[in-house]
Amino acid sequence: MVKLSYSSALVKSSIYDVIKDLPKAELHLHIEGTLEPELLFQIARRNQVSIPYQTVQELRLAYKFNNLQDFLDIYYAGASVLIHEQDFYDLTWAYLERAYQQNICHVEIFFDPQTHTDRGISFDVVINGITKALENAQKRWGITFHVFMCFLRHLDEISAIKTLETALPYRSKIIGVGLDSSENGHPPSKFERVFAKARQEGFLTVAHAGEEGPPNYIWQALDLLKVMRIDHGNRAMEDEVLLSTLAKRQVPLTMCPLSNMKLNVIRQLTDHPLKKMLDKGILVTVNSDDPAYFGGYLNENYQVIAKALNLSVAQIGILAKNSFQASVMGADQKEQYFKQVDRIISQYP
Ligand code: ADE
Ligand code: ZN
């Protein structure tokens, strides 16, 4: 009996060590969702923006959400302190410091241009601040990166088209477009034309789908928006044909366990569909979504899901490999990371 609990403690620490040791890519990360309360207060003070909370503790206490919309209301309010290029730089740099500490070697991050341009902040302020931080992290730590801009789906098509036009001069800094914000009532079909234009202009496409919305929104993202990845995709579980299509076409799902918990997409982590999807051969990845709001960065997401679903070391290795496979990086770079993952996994029982 004693021996059994001793060995299970060893196995548990192995899983946590392997998560720390493995190189990983993060593919579903809203940079505005990395704004920690401390930095939020610091930036609000220097920009003389007033916020309806007195202290960091008070703000953190407000991070209780019943659903996606509850979160989005606070998330957009938080982003309103970001005004100058330096603010976007500091925000991005703070995330990259964490990424480096967590052995994240490649990031593909989202930003929401309309959240800022609708407040009168110019597009170049936002993209320049974000990009400069990414370039510095690449120089300093070798973290490679790509940037996707998301259209806010609660706004209309015209606003998305204007945003795409505004982004065209910055094409070299933005690899693709995505779709985020309030999902229900805002199907991918609403954005079919702007995504077609984005593809014509050479942008890659991804979209949030099946977080709160029905499986049909995932079909629409695939068939109408021609996305290369689905962000979240939890509700694919309700449609067997969709599941086998995702597996057959190897369409990646960028899943976010802590986000799903905090936004009541799942009742408890043990209900998370990630393992069932892995078992069906779907290319699932683990990501942090909006870590400042959901209580953990990438490694914490791996840890909680590994524990809740009793994932093996080999399955953690598959998730790390999937993160590179689902990324935009070139085949040679992917191969290098696959080898690194295999070497590290082979050192664990
Ligand atoms: N914007 C930031 N995080 C989001 C999420 N989890 N779903 C939809 N839009 C978002
Ligand atoms: Zn997201």
> Is the pLDDT reported for residue 285 higher than 80?
yes
Q: What is the mean pLDDT of residues 239-267?
A: 98
pLDDT in tens, 58-100: 999 999 999 999 999 999 999 999 999 999 999 999 999 999 9
pLDDT at 6: 44
> Is the pLDDT reported for residue 172 higher than 80?
yes
Which of 3.90.1570.10, 3.20.20.140, 3.20.20.70, 3.30.2320.30 is the CATH number of 13-345? 3.20.20.140
Q: Which ligand is nearest to the CA of 231?
A: 2
CA proximity to 35, closest of 116, 86, 84, 92: 92
> Is the pLDDT reported for residue 54 higher than 80?
yes
212 lines ligand 1 (CB under 6 A): no
26 lines ligand 1 (CB under 6 A): no
40 lines ligand 1 (CB under 6 A): no
Look-up of token digits 């779907």: 282
- Please state the domain extents for the chain: 13-345
Judge whether 211 counts as a catalytic residue: yes
| Ligand 1 atom 1 nearest Cα | 181
pLDDT at 290: 99
Query: Around ion ligand 2, which residues have CB less than 5 A away?
Result: 289
pLDDT at 349: 78
Rounded Cα distance, 205 and 202, in Å: 10
Q: What is the share, in percent, of the chain residues with pLDDT greater than 90?
A: 95
Helix (H, G, I), strand (E, B) or coil at 289: strand
Index of the ligand 1 atom closest to the CA of residue 211: 7
pLDDT at 13: 61
Which of the residue ranges 8-12, 98-102, 127-131, 202-206 would you say has the lowest mean pLDDT?
8-12
Per-residue confidence band for 264, with pLDDT thresholds at 50, 70 and 90: very high
Index of the ligand 1 atom closest to the CA of residue 259: 6
In whole angstroms, how far apart are CA 201 and each of 170, 198, 250, 330? 12, 5, 25, 21
pLDDT in tens, 178-237: 999 999 999 999 999 999 999 999 999 999 999 999 999 999 999 999 999 999 999 999
- φ, ψ for residue 240 (rounded to 5)? -60, -40
Distance 1 CA to ligand 2 centre (A): 44
Q: Which ligand is nearest to the CA of 31?
A: 1
For the chain, what is the mean pLDDT? 96
87 lines ligand 1 (CB under 6 A): no
Bigger pLDDT: 91 vs 14? 91
> Is the pLDDT reported for residue 325 higher than 70?
yes
Q: What is the mean pLDDT of residues 87-115?
A: 99
Rounded Cα distance, 143 and 136, in Å: 9
pLDDT at 93: 99
Look-up of token digits 């290319």: 283
